[in-house]
Amino acid sequence: MAAAREGAPGQGARRVLAFGAHPDDLDFGVAGTVSAWVAQGVEVHYCVMTDGDAGGFDPAHRAQIVAMRREEQRAAAARVGVREVHFLGYRDGYLEPTHEVQRDVVRLIRTVRPDVVLAMHPERNWSSLQMSHPDHLACGEAVTRAVYPATENPYAYPELEESGLAAYRVPWLWLYAAPEERVNHAVDVTVHVEAKLEAIRVHLSQHPDIAATERFVRARLRATAAAHGLGGEASAEAFHVVAVNSPETIAGF
């Protein structure tokens, strides 16, 4: 796997599907790791679950904010080499892990059939409540429920199976924006920091003070690297990695 140590979880991934609640979540959370994957030839898809209509600061943008944020997200994805961006279109601030949302997630996972699924962490992070927006938690819960058991159960949402989307066993689930006590893996993204920042800079509707935003992001990446013993001037992104299906996994629903 790109930018990870030998024997790291998910090494050898060929296809990745990354979920975020809002436009810009993926850029702040995983764009360095994604840039590293893409540089190694991994095919990465983004999925943004809400339309971002509650974001922004300029009242003049209200009528155009959804279209504006979609364009920002497409442009940001392109900065790290991601060509496929899927939008589920749920209302910003109203995302819940309902069966409708789970079915949409299952449909996309079965379509893309990734080696690694990324999502926001479903547990609240009390050390940084801003990382635990209710939509973030709902994103993590909906994707986790979809990964197991629904995606691999042919009798869950049978209309998907009937439409030709066969059940699929996801090997790895990577959760970002995790509480520190859950983090069990860090990816060295030192050589991909500029690509990540280029992606973040695109989201001007959300972060007009780009200089302050960049200082925050750089400091956080360096702190993460230091916490995981990468040392020096390294930068890293952190994850709670879960092996969903491995050679030792016992199948069952």
Q: What is the pLDDT of residues 232-242, one digit of tens each?
A: 899 999 999 99
Helix H or strand E encompassing 29? helix 25-39
Can you tell me whether residue 122 is helix, strand or coil?
Answer: coil
Q: Supply the pLDDT for residue 118.
A: 98
Q: pLDDT for 27-69, tens place per residue? A: 999 999 999 999 999 999 999 999 988 877 667 676 788 999 9
For the chain, what is the radius of gyration of the CA atoms? 17
pTM assigned to the model: 0.93
Domains with residue ranges and CATH for the chain? 15-243 (3.40.50.10320)
Q: Whats the size of the chain, residue-wise?
A: 253
Q: What does the pLDDT average to over 151-176? A: 97
Residue 204: per-residue pLDDT = 82
What per-residue confidence (pLDDT) applies to 58?
67
Question: Rounded to whole angstroms, how far apart are CA atoms 47 and 124?
Answer: 21
